[in-house]
Amino acid sequence: MRFFRRGDSEAPLDFWAWWSGVRDRVATAIETGSFDPKLIEEVNRAVRGVDPRLAWEFAPGRQAKHALCLTPEGNAEVRPAALRWLAGAPPADATWEYLASRRASPSRDVLEVGGRRLALREMRAISSWDESRRRIDVRLWHDAFAQAPLPVRQQIAFLFLDNLLGEDDVERWIGQVDLLEAPGNGKTPDELKAEVERYAAGPAGETWVLGQGTTPDGRPMIVAADAGLKRIDFPFADQHVSIRIQIEGGGMPDDALAAVLNREEDRLVAALGGAATLAGRTTSPGERVIHFVAEVLDRVRAGIDAWAKDAPEWRVKVDFQHDPGWEFQRDFGVR
């Protein structure tokens, strides 16, 4: 279980205090099929108190009769609120268990979207595996697409994937999702699920990629990035830390200086320990920038200070930016 930090919202504690008095009423309403609208609104208010961006649902449990799920619906900025809520949950019992994301529902075969009922087993997928990103890009087709406007087709596609794999596995393993314009042969839902499971169980290969780009002011830039670094695996790491090292002379580093920069990067990573995770580096004329993601900045600052004591006499600037969506990765070209 993850412990709360100073400054974390007390809203989850308020939720669980409220839940202890209402859980039996909710279970009875589910079992009798007689939900009082006032009870629904009471649940709405309690969930909004945790975070108004969270969605919620009741579902059949696996170990218990019922499950209460609060979900960020793929929003990385909201995921910590759901996880903190779950960390404060009471132990599961015979009646209730608790979830911070929707699980796969393989037995569910019919989906209702936009007034349409469709059979999920009729979805077809064309997929391709990106080894460096460790994600599967998919293109989907269903007969219902032909008569549905684009927003409804997109909703169908993501509900299908959530139902097939569960929200967390969609976030972790599915990359780009496109919709096919015409029907064609493709994988069945069972075949797509089996493919995801096969890749997920396989060994991780080399995820670092090398590329070229330009800086915001138009200078050439060499990028080395960990394309397999996934936001979902670091849910509380909402800080982007960049360490800018000025290169004397304003040009690109020669081989000797590049070797020194790389050694210092290794020493910096060691000094930071588990306080930050290396995401990549960019090199442009006059500058090397090392990028990290982190959660607790006090530990990061201490690690940088320890590294700087024995670092070369470079001009160094350290920037901290709150970046819950890891938007900096777009500059690396890995999203």
- Closest to 12 measured CA to CA, from 59, 58, 55, 46: 46
Structure tokens at 91: 């132990």
Q: Model pTM?
A: 0.87
**Are 300 and 292 spatial neighbours (Cβ–Cβ below 8 Å)?**
yes
SS3 state of residue 310: coil
Residue 142 tokens, joined: 């269903």
Q: Is the torsion defined by CA of 9, 295, 158, 202 positive or negative?
A: negative
Calpha distance 196→219 (Å, rounded):
39
Give the contacts of 198 (CB within 8 A, at least 6 positions apart). Answer: none
Q: Which domains does the chain have, with CATH numbers?
A: 11-99 (no CATH), 110-201 (no CATH), 208-332 (3.30.70.1710)
Sheet containing strand 220-226, strands side by side: 208-214, 220-226, 276-284, 287-294, 239-246, 316-322
Spell out the per-residue pLDDT of the chain, length 335, in tens. 333 343 455 678 899 999 999 999 999 999 999 889 999 999 999 999 999 999 999 999 999 999 999 999 989 999 999 999 999 999 999 999 999 999 998 778 888 887 778 899 999 999 999 999 999 999 999 999 988 899 999 999 999 999 999 999 999 999 999 999 888 789 999 999 999 999 999 888 889 999 998 888 889 999 999 999 999 999 999 999 999 999 988 899 999 999 999 999 999 999 999 999 999 999 999 999 999 999 999 999 999 999 999 999 999 999 999 999 999 998 887 76
